[in-house]
Structure 1
Amino acid sequence: MAEITRIEKRKLEKCLEMGEGYVLDFVNRTFEDFFLDSFNIEISNEKYNSGNSGSKANRLREFWKKESNYLVGKSIVELLDYSKEIGSSYNKSEDTLNECYQIGYRLRDEMGIAEIDAIKPIEDTRDYKLLAELVKDHISKNQPEAGLDRLHTYLVGYVRNLCEKHQIHYEKKESLNAIFGKYVKAITKTNIIESQMTIRILKFSISILDSFNHVRNNQSFAHDNESIVNYSESILIINNINSLIKFIQEIERKIDDNSTLDEPENLPF
């Protein structure tokens, strides 16, 4: 349930012209299209029918009640943007419009996904490009639970690619954390990492990835699992994995710039 106060709700309803069951200039079809195209949500679903009139305004109120802060905040911002596009905002004071934007920003940014731009195509191949797009698509649509499986698959490919780049031997059957452990062992024997704390964090990340294996196999949509990691924990997991990927990308940039990593035959395994 989104955390909107009564005063904020009144401001939003006024700004989005929700009197008499309407929302801005939407008709039923365009209202449904807006939520389907922007958020992959069927606003006409019974989930958003409280037993009242089923009007657009009432469905939007139910949407505010039942969805996350992030999703509600994002929809508020996009609805306000739309109101400006159609010229509806000219009928409102600038202060009122700004206050409503701030409500949307507060909800949207309260618990977002960090370092989403770290998810990039691993190689110049269609499969890896599609995989990266799928991960980012789930995140951008505020479906972190659905993105966990794809993110794990992406990370396996990314770490394998790093090992191949530096000719670090691994077996296909080896787990994600085992392969990452070999990569960490290689780079920590160089001077590319300056802090012992950073090295400890990287080594600790090996056990985190072991737990990620468990989540992927037992608590994601990868299989027909009864228990799926909830929304907030999915965000925590994704944020940590994205931050790790982002840091590894920085390490690799330094390696490429400085040629610090030893030649393969001299790597101290």
Structure 2
Amino acid sequence: MFFEEHTGLHIDDQRYRGSGTSKANRMRGFWTVEPDHVVARVLLAMIAHATEYECVPADMDDALFADVHRIIARLNQNPSSPVPEVDAFTASVNELDFEAAAKHIRTAIEQNEPATAWIACTCFR
């Protein structure tokens, strides 16, 4: 439920079970399969959840916490890597609408704005 709420993905999906079905192995599978920005989104949500429900130890090392946030920031800023999902779009009935949408989506992804690309995807379905 947590992964679905924050990513729309099901952590129990077969594609995350390459190393086994335990929670840790499914999480490792998720990290391997999903793009960096999706992994970063989940990690931020996990931190927020742990903070909200006071699951973070009171004596948590601030340096470690800062390292975690630097890793998440690095996962979020990888605009130079190609996003294979963009090429998965197929043309709709109106070829001009598709071309405009594809151009807008690719630009948003290249500018590291996945949310903008997602909105464009949902508008042109």
For structure 2, the residue ranges without an aligned partner over 5 or more in a row are: 80-84, 111-125
Equivalent residue number for residue 64 of structure 1: 31
Write the mapping of 1:57-206 to structure 2, written as runs, cut at 5 A: 57-91=24-58, 92-111=60-79, 145=86, 176=96
Equivalent residue number for residue 222 of structure 1: none
Write the mapping of 1:222-261 to structure 2, written as runs, cut at 5 A: 236-238=106-108
Equivalent residue number for residue 99 of structure 2: 212
SS class of match (1:83)? helix
Is 1:38 the counterpart of 2:6 in the alignment? yes
Checking the alignment, whether the CA contact within 8 Å between 1:145 and 1:234 is kept in structure 2 is no
Deviation, 1:70, is 1.0
| Number of residues of Structure 1 aligned to a counterpart in Structure 2 | 106
Give TM-score, length-normalised by structure 1.
0.32
CA separation in 2, counterparts of 1:76 and 1:60?
Answer: 11
CA separation in 2, counterparts of 1:101 and 1:85?
Answer: 17
Work out which of the residue numbers 41, 45, 49 in structure 1 matches 2:17: 49
CA separation in 2, counterparts of 1:104 and 1:234?
Answer: 26
Checking the alignment, whether the CA contact within 8 Å between 2:16 and 2:30 is kept in structure 1 is yes
Q: Residues 123-166 of structure 1: CA distance to partner in whole angstroms, max 9, x if unpaired? A: xxxxxxxxxxxxxxxxxxxxx649x78xx9xxx9xxxxxxxxxx
For structure 1, the residue ranges without an aligned partner over 5 or more in a row are: 1-32, 112-143, 157-174, 177-208, 217-232, 241-269
**Which residue identity is paired with 2:106?**
L
Deviation, 1:95, is 1.4
**Which residue identity is paired with 1:107?**
L
SS class of match (2:56)? helix
CA separation in 1, counterparts of 2:77 and 2:41?
Answer: 9
Write the mapping of 1:5-44 to structure 2, written as runs, cut at 5 A: 33-44=1-12
Q: Residues 190-245 of structure 1: CA distance to partner in whole angstroms, max 9, x if unpaired? A: xxxxxxxxxxxxxxxxxxx9x926x86xxxxxxxxxxxxxxxx98534458xxxxx
Q: CA RMSD in A?
A: 4.0
Equivalent residue number for residue 261 of structure 1: none
| Percent of paired sites with the same residue | 20
**Which residue identity is paired with 1:44?**
D
CA separation in 1, counterparts of 2:11 and 2:109?
Answer: 28
Sort the Cα spacing of 1:239 and 1:56 in 2 relative to 1 into closer, same or farther, 3 A: closer
CA separation in 2, counterparts of 1:44 and 1:234?
Answer: 32
Deviation, 1:110, is 2.3
CA separation in 2, counterparts of 1:212 and 1:97?
Answer: 43
**Which residue identity is paired with 1:236?**
R
Deviation, 1:57, is 1.4
Checking the alignment, whether the CA contact within 8 Å between 2:4 and 2:11 is kept in structure 1 is yes
